[in-house]
A and B are shown apart, each in its own frame.
Chain A
Amino acid sequence: MKINEVVSLEFLAQMINGLSLGSIYALIALGYTMVYGICKMLNFAHGDVIMVGAYMLSVAMGMLGLPPVLAILLSMVVCACLGVTIERIAYKPLRNASPLAVLITAIGVSYFLQSSALLIFGSTQRKVESAINVSSVQLGELTIGGNALVTLLLTIVLMTGLTWFINHTMTGKAMLAVSEDKGAAQLMGVNVNRTIATTFLIGSALAAVAGVLFISSYGFVGPYTGAMPGIKAFVAAVLGGIGSVPGAMLGGILLGLIESLSKAYISTQLADAIVFGVLIVVLLVKPTGLLGKKRTEKV
């Protein structure tokens, strides 16, 4: 009985870990999936926006001495501007180019952000003090860390907000329309350029939040911090069905759970391999992801 309790308590703690990691992945995955839905492009530079967000937090709190909330807002604004600028300079001229050309450009942007960060901040990892100052909560025998709590709550709020925004505002509906059919949306009077810019703005702002949350639990930021969470979030987006907003949320949470449970119970080092293995198995069974739309091909 006792042993059972201990095991289940540890299991619950791991679940909460997984949920909070998963919500960070989900926030990043939303950026991938929204951009993919609208532009049909894999925005590989998205992972590095997280890194920029984390650096902005460290600059705002460490050097400018701003309070955490303002620092987070500043980092969101900077990342949103960065996202829109990247879209305008690098992706907009390629809107009718081959997907591969856009992919390579996105990789170029990713290298650009990484090497700029390397030049500005140096290659050593910086310690960042957590932006979240919430004490942990005791639920019976279970302790939930402040970071995990804030991450979960913030993610729930942001996701509800985003879902409402997409389904109930004109801009959101325009985004849905553009992702359905760009040409038809334009004929209906939707400003496609502005809609795409808005998508990048929202996606990058969410990435900034994800970066702040990630760095608050990880503690260090370096030029390549964004790469691995970026790839994992990308996998999460594909797992849920790329282009689908609920899919990205589901995929992100699932990925976080799988990762933290396999780290706890199977092997720390092989956790990544397990995550990617799950992706392959899921895609074999459902080739367009869990919630992805199945497109019938017309001849």
Chain B
Amino acid sequence: MNKILTKKNIAALLLIVAIYAVLLTCDSMGLFNRQTKALLVPIGINIMLAVSLNLMVGFLGELSLGHAGFMSVGAYAGCIFTIHAEMPMWLELPLAMLLGGVVAGVFGLLIGIPALRLRGDYLAIVTLAFGEIIRAVLNNVSLVGGAGGLNGIPKYSNYTIVYVMAVITIIIIANLVKSRHGRAICSIRDNIIASEAMGIPVVKYKLMAFIVAAFFAGIAGVLYGHNLGILKPSTFDFNKSIEILVMVVMGGMGSLPGSIIAAFLITVLPEALRSLQDYRMLIYAVVLIAMMLLNNNARFNEFKQRIFSKKATRQGANLTKEGK
């Protein structure tokens, strides 16, 4: 019934291998300078974050302003594990990722439960409050380093591991979304009352989306900690959550390739603009506003429709419909 070796899957596999091969050859030929190489891991981590948040915002349709909170919980859990466990790296890191993911998933469940009672903006505020509580608590628990941060995390993350994890995340979430469960999640977004009437267990699927999204955010956090070697509560603030949300919205809600591209661009852009120093944030802000205005400009959308093919037009129309 389920064919694994379809044309599409083989093409995807080839693409995954090809991208990695390109990365590897570029690296071995010394085409990356240190700065570029240092960007590879954050790009992968941000892709994981954006894709997982897209499940919550784009597919389930619940706005979350606390994704960095899940990331930080996972990061601390996984990194404390590797600091104290005396195991070889190949055993330690996967276990840490699993632990970080599971702990973040538990928090996803904790936040998912109030989400069942709240709608829209109220839920957004609860997720925001959750992120801030996590940060305030981490700041004050001396066991995890407090405001000074958690030091001495072994630097295990490299681009191979992050690449593999990002690919796994994308595959799992893409398949989840395409599956029966994913369609149920999308139906909750489109009309919760209708989907409830159709017999879809809304509670189960809402919680599922929250837990899965938090799980992958947690894993991304673990990789983040093992990349920098230090975790500070202040990195996981409101602005980090917003940054991930911007990736999702810019890439297009409910579009996984969009999230991947946007995550890539938003990670690379600030580095590319580094020479502009203080003007960097100003330009970022202006680009952000301009993108949003342009995306909702009727004339620009008409122009876009004329350029792209019919198929793309139809997709665009669907997306704007979903946006509303």
Contacts and interface: CB of A to CB of B under 8 A. Distances in A.
Contact of A279 (B125, B136, B245): B125
B282 A116 contact: yes
B63 A112 contact: no
Interface string B286-297: 101100110111
A277 B288 contact: no
B187 to A, nearest CB: 15
Given A231-B128, A270-B136, A108 B193 contact: no
Is the contact region of chain A dominated by helix, strand, or loop, or is it mixed? helix
A263 to B, nearest CB: 12
B137 interface: yes
A15 to B, nearest CB: 23
B282 A112 contact: yes
B117 to A, nearest CB: 5
Contact of A97 (B140, B286, B296): B296
Contact of A234 (B125, B249, B250, B284): B125
Nearest to B250: A104
A103 B125 CA distance: 13
Contacts of B63: 100, 103
Contact of B293 (A105, A231, A238, A267): A105
Given A115-B282, A270-B140, A273-B133, A42 B121 contact: yes
A94 B296 contact: yes
A94 B282 CA distance: 21
Interface stretch (A18-26, A58-66, A153-161, A282-290): A282-290
A211 B285 CA distance: 23
How extensive is the interface on chain A, given as a class?
A: 35 or more
Contact of A98 (B117, B242, B280, B323): B323
Contacts of B288: 104-105, 107-108, 111
B7 interface: no
Given A100-B253, A231-B238, A270 B137 contact: yes
B140 A107 contact: no
Contacts of A94: 292-293, 296
A238 B292 CA distance: 26
Contacts, number: 133
B296 A93 contact: yes
Interface string B215-231: 00000000000000000
B265 to A, nearest CB: 15
A238 B295 CA distance: 29
A283 B246 contact: no
A115 B286 CA distance: 10
Contacts of A93: 293, 296-297
Contact of A119 (B120, B279, B296): B279
B124 interface: yes
A137 interface: no
Contacts of B279: 115, 119
A299 B245 CA distance: 30
Contacts of B245: 104
Contacts of B193: 297, 299
A280 B286 contact: no
A89 to B, nearest CB: 8
Nearest to A110: B285
B297 A283 contact: no
Nearest to A41: B121
B281 A283 contact: no
A118 B281 contact: yes
Contact of A115 (B129, B137, B238, B285): B285
A283 B122 contact: yes
A107 B281 contact: no
A101 B129 contact: no
Interface in B92-149: 114, 117-122, 124-126, 128-130, 132-133, 136-137, 139-140
A283 B286 contact: no
A269 interface: yes
B324 interface: yes
A112 B140 contact: no
A97 B132 contact: no
Contacts of A297: 193
A119 B128 contact: no
A90 to B, nearest CB: 6
Given A100-B249, A288-B122, A299-B193, A269 B136 contact: yes
A284 B282 contact: no
Interface of B: 57, 63, 114, 117-122, 124-126, 128-130, 132-133, 136-137, 139-140, 193, 238, 242, 245-246, 249-250, 253, 278-282, 284-286, 288-289, 292-293, 295-297, 323-324
27 contacts: A93-B296, A93-B297, A94-B293, A100-B249, A100-B323, A102-B292, A104-B245, A105-B288, A105-B289, A105-B292, A108-B285, A109-B289, A112-B285, A112-B286, A115-B282, A115-B284, A115-B285, A118-B278, A119-B279, A227-B238, A270-B140, A272-B132, A273-B136, A276-B133, A280-B126, A283-B125, A287-B122
Interface of A: 36, 42, 90, 93-94, 96-105, 107-112, 114-116, 118-119, 227, 231, 234-235, 238, 242, 267, 269-270, 272-273, 276-277, 279-280, 283-284, 287-289, 297, 299
Leading 10 A-B pairs by shortest Cβ distance: A108-B288, A276-B129, A273-B136, A111-B285, A112-B285, A115-B281, A98-B323, A108-B289, A97-B296, A115-B282
Given A104-B250, A289-B122, 16 more contacts: A42-B121, A97-B292, A98-B324, A101-B249, A101-B292, A107-B242, A108-B285, A111-B285, A112-B282, A235-B125, A235-B129, A238-B121, A280-B130, A280-B133, A283-B117, A283-B122
